[in-house]
A and B are shown apart, each in its own frame.
Chain A
Amino acid sequence: MNNIIKMAARNLRRYKRRTLLTSILITLGVVAVLLFISVSGSFKSLMVGQITDSMMGHLQVHRKGYMASMDSLPLNRNLQGKQLGKVKEILDNNDAVEAYSMRIKLGAMFSNFSETTNIRLTAINPEQEMKTAPMLQDRFLQGEKEGLMDKGEILIPELIAKGMKVKIGDSIVLVATNQDGSVNGQSFVVRGILEGISGPGGRDGYIHLADAKTLLRIEGKEVSEIAIRLKDMGDLEEVYTALKTKLSTFKNKKDKPVFEVHTWEKLSPFSKIASMIDLMTLFIKVMLVAIVLVSIMNVMVMSVYERINEIGTIAAIGTKPGKIMALFLTEGLLLGVFGTLIGVILSLIGIMGMNMSGISFDFGRQKGLMLSPTIAGSDVLIVAAIVIAIAVLGSLQPAWKAAKMDPITALRHV
């Protein structure tokens, strides 16, 4: 085998310019794919991380029908005491669950004593929320982020702060309608101003759960949603299925399910963008395959055509057809390996360079998001394996033709 590799390498060196051009083509393809995977992957994980870690959690449990009418933030579809107990019990017994946060979602009027506007609010228990959405604190543009908030304090989104000209420490009033239709008001002190992020709930304000209960005159245990954080996001599907199965056993008096469970993907429109990124990655991989296939086939067909007489000679002196085929396949393989190797090295240098220079971008209203491109070893291996396999595949037909060549005809070829 070593001798075949040696021969193949020499044959490639014989046509230096052609070998170099083909390798450059393969290298460019590999670089394009790996850089795309790293940048798009980084963008995807940044956005997913923001959505799940600063706002949504990995999973959410609601009362059945809540999601369908979520836009109106219905208080009459909140989870009640016994229901909450059942969900808590299931979550406490699931080792994959790291934390969960009970929330009340509500709409209110926000007044700075001179102007009034609408605000969507998420009422939270700060301790639970910090464990479930640890990056929420990172969204603080102004204010003391330690401990998130105390009772009587409010975190408001940047847009409302600007629009209503409200600063840290200012007093504001929230007016909300409770489940019975009666209106209640409560004053709050602005504790923090939050950066808005893309996705549902990304521009909500936050108040303490106890304050929401007071404002809405809720007496018992009652929440709109339970956001769940997993120890490993890779377990998402598994935990979702287990949770869904367990919760589906709870029925109401009409024998309908009481709970509904959703993954972040179902709740956030960004999951569609993530799917599009995956689709584009697939498309660019297909393009790479086409580039490699066409360039290798072209080179190998030319190589066989130019060496017909030589093929006749080595066949005449007793080289078996299998060895002739192996020789040409090895040439394709070496081209693939060489191009891929250089491509991987350049890609890694490129990724390192991008991280050193720091690439920032704007997404929606979010400005200056920093990308930190990385590439998984498995991605590098998969791309390398695809390219090398296609290089061999592209050499198959020319190699087969060379192996099956009649020595007499080949020797007569001029």
Chain B
Amino acid sequence: MSIIAAKQLTKHYIAGDITVEAIRGVDFTIEPASFVSFVGPSGSGKTTLLNMIGCLDPPTGGSLEVAGQDITSLNTNESAVFRGDNIGFIFQDFNLIPVLTVFENIEYPLIMVQNWPADKRKKQVEKMLEAVEMQDQGHKYPSQISGGQKQRVAVARALVTNAKLVLADEPTANLDRKTATRIIDLMKHMRDEFSTTFIFSTHDPRVVENAEIIFTLEDGKLLTQSTNQGGDHE
């Protein structure tokens, strides 16, 4: 069963008197544990598509099922619950909470979103810290670690709830080449370890060459879908 199934998916924005068609009747499916990249020029609709998959932006038309749930009819609260249960997010700017330590940033969704018991929570966070090789950095605040380390923490935070799906919008855009490569490797490793589906929107060729499925978007339309073996990038 597909983790994502979109049929004739559309998204229109109204900007003053103009209607902008950001996504124009897109059909696609994505299988669980895939490593997928949406590519295309700026304004092609990559981020809009990711936002719709992430229940952040409701579609204007068509149908969209994520993890077996029709998400087109969810209200604000239901969307929040669905995101908390099923989806992890990785942002271009890392978006860690500055007042929380690394440990607490990873722990945040387990406390504020899923309400895990303390002992189980601690074990899970330690497991994620180890998975992203940050076990010695748990006590530090985001301001005390590097950009690459911040993105590692963001990856751990996205996966800590055992999310079925991780959406990453330009995850390597603010990282140097070496760090970006390590982050891509890490995400791939996490996909292998936790069978989580990773979907990126990116311009970064390093991410694209590591993706197993590549959707190319242009002017809100899906131009091509290609598969690639995701070979070594160095």
**Which residue numbers of A lie inside 8 Å of B, CB to CB?**
3-4, 7, 10-11, 13-14, 309-310, 312-323, 407-408, 411
User: In the bound complex, do residue B76 and residue A318 qualify as a contact, i.e. CB atoms below 8 Å apart?
Assistant: no
B30 within 8 A of A: no
B42 within 8 A of A: no
CB contact list, B156-183 vs A, under 8 A: 157-158, 161
Tell me the residues in window 69-91 of chain B with beta carbons closer than 8 Å to chain A beta carbons.
Answer: 76-77, 80-85, 87-89, 91
In the complex where A408-B51, A408-B56 touch, is A318 in contact with B95 (Cβ < 8 A)? no
Pick from B56, B77, B111, B161: contact of A316, CB under 8 Å = B56
B111, A317: Cβ atoms under 8 Å? no
24 A–B contacts from the bound complex (CB under 8 Å): A7-B112, A13-B99, A14-B99, A313-B89, A313-B95, A313-B97, A314-B112, A315-B80, A316-B54, A316-B83, A317-B88, A317-B109, A317-B157, A318-B80, A318-B81, A318-B82, A318-B84, A318-B87, A319-B80, A319-B84, A320-B81, A320-B84, A407-B56, A408-B51
Check: B218 CB closer than 8 A to any chain A CB.
no
- Are B89 and A316 in contact, CB atoms less than 8 angstroms apart? yes
Chain B residues with a Cβ under 8 A of chain A:
51, 54, 56-57, 76-77, 80-85, 87-89, 91, 93, 95, 97-100, 108-109, 111-114, 157-158, 161
Q: What distance in Å separates the Cβ of B58 from its nearest Cβ neighbour in chain A?
A: 11
Residues from chain B with a CB closer than 8 A to the CB of A310 are 95, 97-98
- Of chain B, the residue at the smallest CB distance from A15 is B99
Instruction: Decide if B51 touches A317 in the complex (CB within 8 Å).
Output: no
Partner of A11, one of B80, B89, B99, B113: B99
Nearest CB of B to A407, in Å: 5
- B76 & A321 in contact (Cβ 8 Å cutoff): yes
Complex CA distance for A14 and B89, rounded to whole angstroms: 25
Does A10 lie within 8 Å of B81, measured CB to CB?
Answer: no
User: Which of chain A's residues have a CB closer than 8 A to the CB of B99?
Assistant: 7, 10-11, 13-14
Closest to B83 in A: A318
Q: How far is the CA of A317 from the CA of B56 in the complex (A)?
A: 10
Query: Which of chain B's residues have a CB closer than 8 A to the CB of A313?
Result: 89, 91, 95, 97
Report the bound CA distance from A333 to B51 in whole Å. 34
**Cα separation A309 to B88 with both chains bound (whole Å):** 17
Query: What are the 6 A-B residue pairs with the smallest beta carbon separation, nearest first?
Result: A318-B84, A313-B95, A318-B113, A10-B99, A318-B83, A3-B111
- Given A11-B99, A407-B56, A408-B57, A321:B77 Cβ within 8 A: yes
> Which residues of the other chain, A, contact B93 by a CB distance below 8 angstroms?
309
A319 contacts B91, C-beta separation under 8 Å: no
Which of A14, A314, A321 touches B108 (beta carbons < 8 Å)?
A314
Chain A residues within 8 Å of B109, by CB: 317-318
CB distance from A406 to the nearest CB of B (A): 8
Residue numbers in A under 8 Å from B54 (CB-CB): 316
User: What chain B residues lie within 8 Å of A318 (beta carbons)?
Assistant: 80-85, 87, 109, 113-114, 161
Partner of B112, one of A10, A13, A319, A321: A319
Report the Cα distance A154→B42, complex, angstroms.
106
- Measured between alpha carbons, how far is A193 from B88 in the docked complex, in Å? 90
Kindly name the residue among A315, A320, A321, A323 whose own CB sees the greatest number of chain B CB atoms within 10 A.
A320
Bound state CA distance, A323 and B99, in angstroms? 17
**A305 CB, nearest partner CB in chain B, Å:** 16
A residues within 8 A CB of B82? 318
Determine if A323 and B112 form an interchain contact, defined as CB atoms under 8 angstroms apart. yes
